[in-house]
Amino acid sequence: MSKIWYKDYDLDEVNGIFGKYMTGYLDIKATEIQEGMLIASMPVHDKVKQPFGILHGGASVVLAESVGSIASNMVINQAHFSAVGMEINANHIKSISEGIVYAYCSPLHLGLKSHVWDIKIKDKNGKLICISRLTVAIIEKK
């Protein structure tokens, strides 16, 4: 795959973005930037569990949308464009009640006006917890 990132990003820079707002509250962090993939982690603790003690599906969606949205912004020239979520879906495959989950985000489509991301959320052993697809609109800044 050809180079997709607009510039060379480092983990500290990306984690400065993840450290704010909801992603910061949920302790989501970028763990690796590969060519063609952004990987982020989220601990499974009380902040992200539903009342029955397992990872809340909504928290998985927050992780998926966050990693995909940030990845889209890493692809574009942010001086001229913004990337904003349009649609997300998620299939919750397996439950998890403790540990860390990892979101593996890779592009399915990188167009001028939209991006589509495939996000697979897995546990530390690589077992699939959730699979998500995120569509992002690329809009020109005015």
CA distances from 48 to 42, 70, 98 (A): 9, 20, 10
Cβ neighbours for 112, distance < 8 A, ≥ 6 positions apart: 138
Instruction: State which amino acid sits at residue 110.
Output: L
Contact 117, 71 (CB under 8 A): yes
Q: Residue 44 and residue 37: Cα distance in Å, rounded? A: 22
Of 13, 32, 35, 65, the catalytic one is 65
Cβ neighbours for 10, distance < 8 A, ≥ 6 positions apart: 33
- Annotated catalytic residue 13: no
Q: Residue 59 and residue 92: Cα distance in Å, rounded? A: 11
Q: Which residues are catalytic?
A: 65
